[in-house]
């Protein structure tokens, strides 16, 4: 059973969403969420090695409480993929629940010139 199907459980769940590939310079939505029996005020997201802070205009930090009492702590945004490398690493970490997850987005360049 999980928090996502409205049952109460003591096992927290970490979810990360990002595109698997994208063209250089384009933007896309990305998010990290931890769903548990309480919020995690120390929840963190790292974008290509750089920590995302609450004042970063590209991202939003939020908490949502479901009808079953579980709480979703999220960091979400719409950043531009303009890294000089071939991949962007998105790393999410919940120190309160000792969970971590990584996703990579491949950046491709349009070489039609």
Strand 44-47 vs strand 50-51: parallel, antiparallel, or unpaired? antiparallel
Tens digits of residue pLDDT in 46-79: 988 899 988 888 899 999 999 999 999 999 999 8
Instruction: Report the pLDDT averaged over residues 12-41.
Output: 93
Beta bridge partners of 73: 34, 63
What's the pLDDT at 9? 52
What's the pLDDT at 54? 84
Instruction: Report the pLDDT averaged over residues 90-105.
Output: 95
User: What does the mean pLDDT of the chain come to?
Assistant: 87
CB 19 within 8 A of CB 27: no
What phi, psi does 98 have (nearest 5°)? 55, 50
Rounded CA separation 15/102 (Å): 10
Please state the length of the chain.
113
CB 75 within 8 A of CB 32: yes
């Amino acid at each position: 059973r999980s928090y996502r199907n409205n049952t109460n459980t003591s096992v927290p769940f970490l979810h990360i969403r990002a595109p698997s590939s994208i063209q250089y310079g384009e933007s896309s939505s990305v998010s990290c969420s931890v769903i548990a029996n309480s919020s995690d005020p120390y929840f963190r997201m790292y974008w290509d090695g750089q920590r995302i802070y609450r004042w970063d205009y590209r991202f939003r930090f939020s908490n949502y409480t479901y009808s079953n009492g579980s709480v979703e702590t999220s960091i979400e945004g719409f950043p531009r993929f303009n890294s000089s490398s071939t991949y962007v690493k998105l790393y999410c970490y919940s120190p309160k629940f000792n969970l971590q997850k990584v996703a990579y987005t491949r950046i491709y360049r349009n070489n039609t010139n």
